[in-house]
Each structure stands twice: as C-alpha cells, then as structure tokens.
C-alpha cells in the first residue's frame, strides 16, 4: 500500500518558519520527482517546488529565496523549509511523488500564516 505521510504544518506568525516533511512508503521503483504543491481556499492547486532524483529543482517564483526543497532519496523523503512566511502562503500543502507511469499524493497538511 502506497502512502505519502506529511508532517510539519501548523500555525505561524508572519515572518516565521516551518519545515514540512513527506515520507513515501510502499512504492516500488525509483521516484523520479518529489515535491510540494499547495491549494489556498478558492484557488487551484499550484506547484510550489519539485526536485528530481538527480537534484534538479523547480521552484515557483513567489517563494524563491524563502523556501528550500531538499530530498533524501534513500529514505524516499522530501522536505520543504519555509522561511519568511507570508499570509499569502496560507494553504493546504500536498506532497507529490511521480514515478514514470504514476503519481501519488499525500493527504495534505495545513499551513496557516497569521499577519
């Protein structure tokens, strides 16, 4: 059974930091891309940051310089360090794991930034 288990969300004041973690289990084969997406109320889900198994990173402009994605391939775990958080970062953050023929999603973790 495939599971992506996220942790690290919560309530933080503007300017604060949070670190999200996502551990994938039950996946057979190499996970090509792991990353984070988010969905704010009334908005579509959007990419935040992704990282390939080879280390290539893609980050949305709105979080560049504030968020850092990292990955432990041996543990099938991806992290998102979020600094200088803003109220507009408030959303449910979803972990994503992409294999060549299938993608998996976590259940989501709420991040709320108070101004």
pLDDT score for 85: 98
Q: pLDDT digits over 19-74, tens only?
A: 999 999 998 778 889 999 999 999 999 999 999 999 999 999 999 999 999 999 89
The pLDDT value recorded for residue 101 is 85
User: Mean pLDDT, to the nearest integer, of 72-85?
Assistant: 95
Average pLDDT across the chain, whole number:
95
Q: Strand ranges (DSSP E) for the chain? A: 3-7, 10-13, 18-25, 33-39, 46-52, 57-59, 67-72, 77-82, 91-98, 103-105, 109-114
Mean pLDDT throughout 79-100?
97
């Amino acid at each position: 059974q495939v599971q992506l288990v996220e942790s690290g969300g919560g309530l933080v004041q503007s300017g604060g930091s949070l670190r999200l973690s996502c551990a994938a289990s039950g996946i057979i084969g190499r996970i090509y891309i792991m990353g984070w997406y988010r969905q704010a109320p009334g908005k579509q889900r959007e990419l935040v940051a992704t990282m390939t198994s080879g280390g290539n990173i893609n980050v949305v402009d709105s979080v560049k310089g504030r968020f850092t994605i990292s990955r432990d391939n041996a543990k099938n775990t991806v992290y998102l360090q979020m600094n200088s958080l803003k109220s507009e970062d408030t959303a449910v953050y979803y972990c994503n794991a992409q294999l060549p023929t299938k993608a998996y999603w976590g259940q989501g973790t709420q991040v709320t930034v108070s101004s």
